[in-house]
Structure 1
Amino acid sequence: MRTALPALLAGAALLLTACGTETAGTPGTAASGPASARPSASAPPGDPDDLERDGVRITALTPSSPDGSGRPVTAAYEVTNEHSEAVTYTVTFTFADEGGRGLANVEETVRDVGPGRTVRGTVAGDGMARSATRAVLTEVLRVPADEAPAASGACPPSGIRVTADEGDAAMGLRVVGLSLENCGTRVRHVDGYPGIALLDADWQPVTGVDVLRGSGGIATVTGFDDPPGPVALAPGERVTAGLMWRNTTGMGTAVTVPYVRVTALPGADPVMVAPHLDLGTTGKLGVSAWQRPPAS
């Protein structure tokens, strides 16, 4: 589970498509008026380990305008795909003050970066980041482009959209929700459990963890052990399922699973999500069946 910095605002994602080396700006950050009114970009300060990871690099920082024009602090970045297939990156940037205190988080999604390609772009902080003097890479998630969750508002060719939520945590118990939405034009028939494959940071299988149908004794959660049943999912409707585990550490090596490959329906294209399962040494993950969400 990832914990956001207090009172941080997430920025809107900028979706970019790589087809060579590209440069993309962030809307609303272009300079206007005299060039002298805009502070110049400089090499970003900070620990190099905070400025570059997993193919993403912060290349410059431009402070917010001191003349009261409201132009925000911005950070320039580049993403280079060193994999042999197209990759979609989701990057969390944190704008911080001189003492390293986080002021605002901005999440950026860079889609379909081809093998060996580089995409360049800019992210802007919000009003809470006006006093920021540095930017760091807080998190870099990357998934094969053909397994990336669909962009907000977009419907994949399959006609089903699979997403994971941010999850809930209480007293060491973790639950992450999965959603399957019929965004297509025909009724889809759903019955059973989502297919789940646990993957490490290099997208390789994680062994030594039992993936269980139902809670498997992990905890008693209302509805989690409800049996599967057939659902006729009309266009615009959705079903939900859940992943449940305990973050308990005893003897042995704690296991963390950054990525999960979800096969929503038999024969469906898999979707890779990043719920960051901190399984401790429990060796168990419970999976609930697809069910219609409770009526609101």
Structure 2
Amino acid sequence: MRRPADLRRPSAAPLPLLSALAATAVLLTACGTEHAGPGSTDARASASRDGTRIDDPGKDGVRITSLTLPSASPSPDRGDSVSADQLATEADSGVFAAYEVTNDGSEARTYSVVFTFVSGDGGAVTNQTETVRDVGPGQTVRGTVRAGRLPSTAPRVTGAEVLEVTTVPAGEAPAEPGTCPPSGIRVSADQGDAAMGLRVVGLHLDNCGKRPYTVEGYPLLELLDDAFQPVDGVEILHGSGGITTGAGPDEPPRPVRLNPGESATAGLVWRKTTGFGTPVNVPYVRVRAQEGADPVTVTPHLDLGTTGKLGVRPWEKTERQVCPDRTCRDSG
């Protein structure tokens, strides 16, 4: 099961195989592999492709400024051949877009942006998500997003759009993967599962520090709307029994001791049932692992319908290893 996302469905129109082979062969034989990070410019890319400027009004402070596409014809002075198998496993499509993120607010924010690369008929070819961290008030940050590998049957990309933007206060953003906050405790949310109106999102608590951490009971939650104001009228239930019996039995909360590198999980459970009244959508949830813990704001986009209920399950230890290949960082 997957949590539904409001994304365009990829276009099914096929791209002729010869065009795909030719376009990617130019990249492999003439340019090699490229790595363009946020705010960077790759000289090889600009030498072999033409970036098209885009007059994009943008969305929520994010706009695309240019789109770069690979050449549609092979280089006449190179006779190198590339097999379809090589293209499928080695080649990057060579498609990327430059973007700008501007923070017009009064506090530093972290942005999560879904970009969609589209074909000539407007259908989505692929979606890519970029996280832009710590954008200060009045600051503009520039970067690039790549379409990545595309199958040979994918239609030719002709455009790019900003599909979805979510922002959280920079000080409450989930820690970047592979990093550990000063507290030594990392909180995050997964993409969740969905089926027949039942929704389940996992909250994850990782001890990435060097000291044991003990948590007991349920995560503390604040439900927030688009303006980061509290959402009223939703009852937060301890356990999932008041929502469904399909998520398994409710276990009583117990003390969970996490040694460095160990993890715990809790679950958010609800139903998207719509009856009389106004459906409630909660884009943001501010989470504290327990009383006194630092808040972390996650974006599970709770589509609660008109049920007015959200179940939360207690922390339970998991087998997931937080830092098996490195030493967990010092923490206070």
Q: Which residue of 1 aligns with 2:217?
A: 192
Divergent runs of 4+, >4 A: 4-8, 67-71
Bigger shift: residues 130-139 or 246-255: 130-139
Aligned length: 275
Conserved 8 A contact 1:64-1:74: no
Matched with 1:19 is none
Task: Give the residue type in structure 2 aligned to 1:261.
Answer: R
Please report the TM-score for the alignment, with normalisation by the length of structure 2: 0.77
Q: 1:223 to 1:116 in 2, by over 3 A?
A: same
1:149-188 alignment, distance < 5 Å: 149-188=174-213
Partner residue of 2:61? Answer: 55
Deviates more, 1:117-126 or 1:252-261: 117-126
Aligned equivalents of 2:279 and 2:44: distance in 1? Answer: 52
**2:88 is equivalent to residue 38 of structure 1:** no
Matched, 1:66 2:78: no
Is residue 286 of structure 1 aligned with residue 311 of structure 2? Answer: yes
Displacement after TM superposition at 1:123 (Å): 1.1
Q: Which has the larger radius of gyration?
A: 2
CA distance in 2, matches of 1:132, 1:204: 39
1:204-235 Cα offsets, whole Å, 9 max, x none, are 11111001111252101354511100111100
Q: 1:185 offset after TM fit, Å?
A: 0.2
| Letter matched to residue 100 of structure 1 | G
Distance 2:119 2:283 in 1: 29
- List aligned pairs for 1:251-290, cutoff 5 A: 251-290=276-315
> Is it true that 1:248 corresponds to 2:273 in the alignment?
yes
Asked if 1:111 corresponds to 2:133, the answer is yes
- CA separation in 2, counterparts of 1:293 and 1:144? 29
Q: Go from structure 1 to structure 2 and tell me whether the alpha carbon gap of 1:141 and 1:189 turns closer, same or farther (over 3 Å shift).
A: same
Of 61, 67, 80, the match for 2:102: 80
Q: Which stretch shifts more, 61-70 or 149-158?
A: 61-70
Encode CA deviations 1:40-65: one digit per residue, 9 max, x unaligned: 32225xxx6xx511111112212223
Gaps of 5+ in 2: 12-35, 76-91, 322-332
Larger mean Cα displacement after TM superposition, 280-289 or 72-81: 72-81
1:14-38: CA deviations, max 9, x gaps? 986xxxxxxx12xxx7132883x31
1:84-163 aligned within 5 A: 84-128=106-150, 131-163=156-188
In terms of fraction of residues, the more helix-rich structure is 2
Distance 1:247 1:34 in 2: 48
Q: Distance in 1 between matches of 2:166 and 2:138?
A: 18
Contact 2:93 2:147 in 1 (8 A): no
Could you tell me how far apart the structure 2 residues matched to 1:111 and 1:33 are? 26
Tell me: CA distance 1:292–1:185, structure 2 relative to 1, closer, same or farther (3 Å): same
Letter in 2 for 1:101: G
Q: Would the aligned equivalents of 1:259 and 1:275 in 2 still touch at CA under 8 Å?
A: yes
In 2, the alpha carbon distance for the partners of 1:172 and 1:208 equals 20
Deviations 1:59-92 (A, max 9, x none): 2212223345866122111111111110000101
> Relative to structure 1, is the Cα distance of residues 68 and 260 closer, same or farther in structure 2, using a 3 angstrom cutoff?
farther
3-state SS, counterpart of residue 44 of structure 2: coil
Report whether the alignment pairs 1:229 with 2:235: no
Contact 1:15/1:111, CA 8 A, preserved across alignment = no
Aligned 8 A contact 1:2 1:276 in 2: no
Matched to 1:94, the amino acid is: T
Rounded to whole Å, the distance in 2 between the matches of 1:62 and 1:155 is 35
CA RMSD of aligned residues (A): 2.5
Provide the TM-score with structure 1 as the length reference: 0.86
For residues 181 and 104 of structure 1, do their structure 2 counterparts lie closer, same or farther at Cα, with a shift above 3 Å needed? same
The verdict on how the C-alpha distance between 1:157 and 1:134 changes in structure 2, with shifts beyond 3 A counting, is same
The code of the aligned residue for 2:111 comes to Y
Q: Structure 1 100/89 Cα, relative in aligned 2: closer, same or farther at 3 Å?
A: same
Q: Give 1:124 deviation, angstroms.
A: 1.5
Distance 2:249 2:266 in 1: 8
Call closer, same or farther: CA 1:271–1:183 in 2, change over 3 Å: same
